[in-house]
Chains A and B, each alone.
Chain A
Amino acid sequence: MGWYILKRLLQAIPLLLGIITVTFFIVRLAPGDPMDIYLEEDRGQIDPQAIELLRQKYGLDQPIHIQYVKWVANVARGDLGESFRYRRPVSQLLAEAIPYTLQLTILAVVLDALIGITLGIISAVKQYSVLDKIVTLGSLVIYAIPGFWLALMLVLVFSVNLGWFPTSQTRSMDYGFLSFSGKVLDRLWHLVLPVFVLGVASAASTARYMRNRLLEVLNEEYVLSARARGFRERVVILNHALRNALIPIITIYGMKLPFLLGGAAIIESIFAWPGMGRLAVEAVSGRDYPLLMATITMGAVMTVFGNLLADLTYVWVDPRVSYEGKKQR
């Protein structure tokens, strides 16, 4: 297993290099260099010499291939450059933001798994029942609702009208005066709406997928043989069928990560959540290219490692897939 992990990590290196390259060249495709665009609105008010100095400071006066090599080398060393706007190293900004995004996405995945897998199982076991129909149709509908609109409507109903949940931010004004348990509760309180919006759409797709997987597995011969041997239906479903149906779900969670990160960009902006997604949106609207390049790269890197993790778990959980077998495919 150790060798296999190492091999997969080594295989990820060209992919990471590709990601860094794509981010660099997309930003450089833009007409004019980043500094010009950043300062576009103030043009004429700034001394051209000062702009030239800034350009030198950020290394933008060098030929593009040298800039590229430097960018790759710097990223490899963990130096993501300095934000135009915040005048701080981007890696610091990201280090502050990523925990907030992880809070959101991890809790959303937990919520997704709880609701999605449960509903999926129920509707597969009771196929063609009223409940099954509600779940299948409901999951399609909920999956289709745009997150930002759902978020606004929930804020309107539950925060503005009913006053049950805060409208935005990660904590209350009086956070500093709360006891420890009060602080934890306060944080959770602020997480309810954003996590719900992010998790419920993804739960809808899980439920659908889970249902279909389980229905497929229930047709397998080992399920038939378990039934023939006289196990109770509960045992057949939970011990024999469900375990096998759950394995491919792992891959689905690996695939979901990019969607969750993309969704987080919008949700974080609505709830004034200081995470990575909001940082990316701010970087776009502020034309802060070093920050933009870094957050996008980071998003892709996280996706790569998320998928890697899902793959490794898959190999670990499913004895039918050996590392060698996986290699051949």
Chain B
Amino acid sequence: MRERNSDNHSSVLRLSLIPGLGHLVLGERRRGVHLLAFAMICVLILTSTWERFLEAFQGSAIDHWIASLFLVACLLSLSTFSVRDVRRLVTLGDERVQSKSPLRIALRRFQANRLAVWSLYVIGALYFIAILTPLLTPYDPSAIEDVLETRYLAPSTAHLFGTDEFGRDLFSRAMYGARVSLSIGLLAMLIAKLVGTTYGSIAAYFGGVVDNVLMRIVDVIIAFPTFFLMLMLVGVFEANLVVLVLILGLTSWPGTARFIRGEILSLKEQEFTESARAIGLPAHLIIVRHLIPSALSPVLVSAALAVAGMIGAEAGLSFLGLGIRPPTPSWGNMVSAGSDALLVAWWVAFFPGALLTITLIAFSLFADGIRDALDPKALMQRFV
């Protein structure tokens, strides 16, 4: 056993410095192909955008710099992961055990859901492209040339999505729009879930008067149609990117707060809590170590849905001209610009909206997949 390992060990490890090759040699086809494909894509992007990649290190905009660095980091971490994983496979050898931890079971169940896996790929690809945008865009998204010549050009190989009223390339703009929409969605979701979880567990922990007051506040906020609340806030505060993230996040937490509170109150009665109390764990540690983790898996599902909700809300606000303002592109305000030109140039409204739709569908299929994986009995989509 040991001799066989030491024979192959170093050569396989050296091979797996090129992501995926090691896995292929060991017969791990699936993972090997994935790793190799991902690495190939990175290399392809790197070589085809080589000049722009170098530009980043000669003092240009920060997002450009991040994009280049990200690409390098991707390649490096792919190699590292590949080597580590191969080492794990080799040292474990035939003694590899199929572990059955809850997480692993959930993971396997998720992988069996092909739609969910594909939607995860789509989401991953969207974020990947969003980060690399400065390297990938074929045109400057705000470059205006001879407007009379370039305005409202139909989709073609030169302009995949056509051009808008100022002759700007819609494909490039849509990529920059993806950055705005995707990052807003993620950040706003994080704010909402963090605030909601903290708030809900504080209410459940203190109970009594505090709980009562906190939950009455939640009742009031929930009574507002969320979109109306957002409308009011963008009316009051000048909406730039940061403010918009805050507005979206801080209007959407009460559902989570109410849910977490209910969950913690019911978990509090269960035996594992009692046993934790019996061994003398202080109450706040019981909450943080035992109760919140147990209540978190439904929150995970609603988090994926919430990202979609936030992206949708941002797009809605921007569509109404109240969110991200032009010239900064966001999918919402691009569709809005296209709605004025619907008769002459359908593509202006179509493509950004289609991307938005694909993103939202991917998130909801993904959320559906996690829900089924974590709890096959979980029934309805939650309105959290």
Interface residues of A (CB under 8 A from B): 14-15, 18-19, 21-23, 26-27, 29-30, 137, 140-141, 143-149, 152-153, 155-156, 160, 205, 208-209, 212-213, 216, 255, 257-259, 261-263, 265-266, 269-270, 280-281, 283-285, 287, 289, 292-293, 295-296, 299-300, 303-304, 307
Q: Is A281 a contact partner of B231 (Cβ separation < 8 A)?
A: yes
Q: Which residue of A lies closest to B229 (CB)?
A: A296
A153 CA / B217 CA spacing, docked (Å): 40
Chain A residues within an 8 Å CB radius of B383: 255
B316 touches A140 (CB 8 A): no
User: How far apart are the CA atoms of A293 and B234 in the complex, in Å?
Assistant: 13
Does the CB pair B226–A258 fall under 8 Å?
A: yes
12 A-B residue pairs with CB within 8 Å: A18-B219, A141-B364, A146-B357, A149-B353, A212-B379, A216-B379, A261-B228, A262-B227, A266-B319, A284-B232, A285-B320, A292-B235
Within 8 A of A (CB), among B198-223: 216-217, 219-221, 223
Chain B contact residues, CB within 8 Å of chain A: 115, 216-217, 219-221, 223-229, 231-237, 308, 312, 315-316, 319-322, 335, 338-339, 342-343, 346, 349-350, 353-354, 356-357, 360-361, 363-365, 368, 379-381, 383
Residues A144 and B224 in contact, CB atoms below 8 Å apart: no
CA distance A141 to B359 in the complex (A): 11
B226 and A26 form a contact (CB under 8 A): no
User: Whose C-beta in chain A lies nearest to the C-beta of B224?
Assistant: A300
Once the chains bind, are A149 and B335 in contact (CB under 8 Å)? Answer: yes
Known A149-B335, A262-B228, A284-B231; further 7 A-B contacts with Cβ < 8 A: A22-B221, A147-B316, A148-B335, A216-B379, A262-B227, A266-B319, A285-B322
Q: In the complex, are the beta carbons of B225 and A261 less than 8 A apart?
A: yes
B228 with A26: CB separation less than 8 A: no
A27-B232, A262-B228, A303-B224 known; A209 and B321 CB under 8 Å? no
With A140-B365, A209-B380 in contact, do A296 and B216 touch (Cβ < 8 Å)?
no
Known: A258-B226, A296-B231. A146 touches B360 (CB 8 A): yes
| CB–CB B237/A30 < 8 A | yes
Chain B residues, Cβ within 8 Å of A140: 361, 364-365, 368
Query: How far apart are A193's CB and chain B's nearest CB, in angstroms?
Result: 14
B321 close to A285 (CB less than 8 A): yes
Q: Is the CB of B312 within 8 A of A146?
A: yes
Among candidates A15, A146, A257, A281, residue contacting B356 with C-beta atoms closer than 8 Å: A146
The answer to whether A160 and B343 have CB atoms under 8 Å apart is yes
**Dominant secondary structure of chain A at its interface with chain B:** helix
Q: What total count of A-B pairs have CB within 8 Å? A: 151
Q: What is the CB-to-nearest-CB distance from A40 to chain B, in angstroms, rounded to a whole number? A: 11
**A15 near B231: Cβ-Cβ < 8 Å:** no
Bound-state Cα–Cα, A257 to B350, Å: 29
With both beta carbons as reference points, the residue of chain A lying nearest to B338 in the complex is identified as A152
Compute how far the CA of A269 lies from the CA of B318 in the bound complex, rounded to whole angstroms. Answer: 13
Beta-carbon contact of B364 and A29 below 8 Å: no
Most B-side CB within 10 Å, residue of A280, A284, A303:
A284
Sorted from nearest, which 3 A-B pairs have the closest CB atoms? A262-B227, A149-B353, A18-B220
Minimum Cβ distance to chain A for residue B306 (Å)? 13
Q: How far is the CA of A147 from the CA of B315 in the complex (A)?
A: 10
Inter-chain contact A284/B234, CB cutoff 8 Å: yes
Please, which residue of chain B has its CB at the minimum distance from the CB of A266? B316
With both beta carbons as reference points, the residue of chain B lying nearest to A298 in the complex is identified as B228
Nearest CB of A to B350, in Å: 7
A208 touches B380 (CB 8 A): yes
Does B361 lie within 8 Å of A144, measured CB to CB?
yes
Contact of A265 among B228, B363, B364 (CB under 8 A): B228
Determine if B216 and A14 form an interchain contact, defined as CB atoms under 8 angstroms apart.
yes
The residue of chain A having its C-beta at the shortest distance from the C-beta of B335 within the complex is: A149
